[in-house]
Amino acid sequence: MTAFFEWLEKYLLPPMTKLSEQRHLRAIRDGIISTIPMIIVGSFFMIIAFPPVPSWAAAVKPYVGKILLPYRLTMGIMALYAAFGIGYSLAKSYKLNELSGGSLAVVAFLLTNLPVAVSKPDLGYVLPLANLGGSGMFVAIIMSIFAVEVLRFAKEKNLTIKMPEGVPECVSSSFAALIPAAIIITTVFLVRVVANFDIQQFIMNLFKPLVYAGNTLGGVLVPTILITLLWSCGIHGDSIVGTVARPIWLTLLDANTKAYASGAAVLPNIAPEPFFQWFIWIGGSGATIGLVILMVFSKSKYLKDIGRASLLPGICNINEPVIFGAPIMLNPLFMIPFILGPVVECLIAYGAMYFNIVARPCILAPWTLPAPIGAYIATGGDWKAIVLVCINFAIATIIYYPFFKAYEKNLLKDEEKNMQAETVSVSK
């Protein structure tokens, strides 16, 4: 096991750590994370429009269109918000004007969507929202990077309009972005309008294999194993793997949400992010809440203290106290159930949703909710989701149990030796 940890530290950790700190990936992560408050709030309006109680559903049915407006203007156009966040973050990393970076990213992204003329004269042209949600996330990412890189190139080559000293900074920054804006807008216009090249469709087709793979059994097992492996070495696995995987998860979630809003009986995707949050990471990465409860009733004073301190955070899916306190990190004994438990949970949860025993996730609930409540909300009010969470919790706890007892036994021996040493010291 020591050799295995050395192998991880030598071959896995350096590239994964370097990947997490890569400038563009960090900007993508920060930009997408900035949209989460709007996605969560918008998701709750989906619950209001389609409540799990039939009598309530019948009562709100005439108002569904109006109730869904906040959803359509938050989660429904999350790629638009992400474009600004990514552009802002990337520009900041280059020490460029953040607002210019965010604004140019939005412009570049919007120009890939052609307005459509409608029959009502008073409306003129409308912008279809379909490509502004999760399905347009990859386009938003690429166009945001393109816009900020043009801004950076223009600054490095002095292709900017410089204002005299004394001009307010906000004004000079706006004029400094004038030439980059002209380059970006003209380039996208020539490609999308003049050449009639559908940038949206082209990029989405490129990423279709990734989205498809992310929804397979292998697509859920690989990130699960990577996240737990990294956490076992003391690296924040969710942050690193999520940087790459979150655009895929949001694309899957967007398709499910749209299908749910249209009244589909079966949603198309199994593995958006709530699948991991509520059915795999019960109590946090590694499904550690079962281990925490075992610790609360431990005969070892140390484990009991750690368990009590970790219980409330664990219920809210915050498990750093137990990961670093037990510790699970760099602990060969706990590393095995820390990885094995989530893998087994993956197999069970994926099977339950593949065979449509449990509803598939379509709502992004706040991640600090207790798992049964979060799972119930995420699946649009399916009570069987609560049962699945309880089953996975029980299985993870059973997997942890023998390793916990072995660890407890060793600690009890050490505690007994320390007590004897203290007794001898006092008697002297």
Residues 268 and 178 in one domain: no
Question: What is the rounded end-to-end Cα distance, in angstroms, of the chain?
Answer: 42
In a domain, 5, yes or no: no
pLDDT (0 to 100) of residue 157: 87
Q: What mean pLDDT comes out for the span 340-366?
A: 94
pLDDT band, very low/low/confident/very high, at 54 (cuts 50, 70, 90): confident
Q: Is the sign of the CA dihedral 162, 163, 164, 165 positive or negative? A: negative
- Last residue within a domain, chosen from 180, 207, 234: 207
Residues 166 and 237 in one domain: no
pLDDT (0 to 100) of residue 201: 87
Residues 236 and 330 in one domain: yes
Q: Does position 1 have pLDDT exceeding 60, yes or no?
A: no
Residues 62 and 194 in one domain: yes
Q: Over the chain, what is the mean pLDDT? A: 86
Q: What mean pLDDT comes out for the span 167-188?
A: 83
Give 228-286 pLDDT, tens digit per residue: 988 887 677 777 788 788 889 988 999 999 899 888 889 999 999 999 999 999 998 89
In a domain, 1, yes or no: no
In a domain, 48, yes or no: yes
- Last residue within a domain, chosen from 163, 181, 207: 207
In a domain, 373, yes or no: yes
pTM assigned to the model: 0.81
Residues 201 and 224 in one domain: no
Q: Does position 422 have pLDDT exceeding 90, yes or no?
A: no
pLDDT (0 to 100) of residue 200: 86
Q: What mean pLDDT comes out for the span 194-203?
A: 89
Between 73 and 244, the more confident residue is 73
Q: Give the list of residues 6+ apart from residue 394 with CB closer than 8 angstroms, or none.
A: 290
- Last residue within a domain, chosen from 207, 225, 253: 207
Residues 230 and 178 in one domain: no
pLDDT (0 to 100) of residue 65: 86
* DSSP per-residue string spanning 182-237: HHHHHHHHIIIIIS---HHHHHHHHHHHHHHHHTSHHHHHHHHHHHHHHHHTTS-H
Q: Are 385 and 378 in contact (CB under 8 A)?
A: yes
Residue with tokens 């498809």: 212
Residues 187 and 247 in one domain: no
pLDDT (0 to 100) of residue 92: 94
Give the integer Cα–Cα distance in Å for 423 and 151.
71
Residues 126 and 63 in one domain: yes
* Least confident range of 57-71, 101-115, 281-295: 57-71
Residues 234 and 202 in one domain: no
Length of the chain: 428
Give 143-171 pLDDT, tens digit per residue: 999 999 999 999 888 887 776 776 677 67
In a domain, 100, yes or no: yes
Q: What pairs with residue 125 in β-bridges? A: 117
pLDDT (0 to 100) of residue 339: 92
Q: CA-CA-CA-CA torsion for 390, 396, 400, 401, nearest 10 degrees?
A: 40
In a domain, 9, yes or no: no
Q: How many CB atoms lie within 10 A of CB 353?
A: 23
Q: State which residues form the domain around 372.
A: 217-427
Q: Give the list of residues 6+ apart from residue 65 with CB closer than 8 angstroms, or none.
A: none
In a domain, 239, yes or no: yes
Q: Does position 424 have pLDDT exceeding 90, yes or no?
A: no
pLDDT band, very low/low/confident/very high, at 94 (cuts 50, 70, 90): very high
* Least confident range of 49-53, 192-196, 214-218, 337-341: 49-53
Between 94 and 418, the more confident residue is 94
Q: Are 203 and 139 in contact (CB under 8 A)?
A: yes
Residues 288 and 420 in one domain: yes
pLDDT band, very low/low/confident/very high, at 389 (cuts 50, 70, 90): very high
Q: Give the list of residues 6+ apart from residue 112 with CB closer than 8 angstroms, or none.
A: 131, 139, 143, 188, 192, 199, 200
Give the integer Cα–Cα distance in Å for 306 and 304.
5
pLDDT band, very low/low/confident/very high, at 209 (cuts 50, 70, 90): confident
pLDDT (0 to 100) of residue 68: 87
pLDDT (0 to 100) of residue 8: 63
Between 4 and 199, the more confident residue is 199
Q: Does position 351 have pLDDT exceeding 90, yes or no?
A: yes
Residues 29 and 95 in one domain: yes
Number of compact structural domains in the chain: 2
Q: What mean pLDDT comes out for the span 33-58?
A: 83
pLDDT (0 to 100) of residue 87: 95
Q: Is the sign of the CA dihedral 262, 366, 243, 86 positive or negative? A: positive
Q: Are 31 and 82 in contact (CB under 8 A)?
A: yes
In a domain, 247, yes or no: yes
* Least confident range of 51-60, 266-275, 315-324, 332-341: 51-60
Helices (H), 316-382: 320-325, 332-354, 371-378
Q: What mean pLDDT comes out for the span 50-75?
A: 85
Give the integer Cα–Cα distance in Å for 53 and 251.
28
pLDDT band, very low/low/confident/very high, at 84 (cuts 50, 70, 90): very high
Residues 170 and 297 in one domain: no
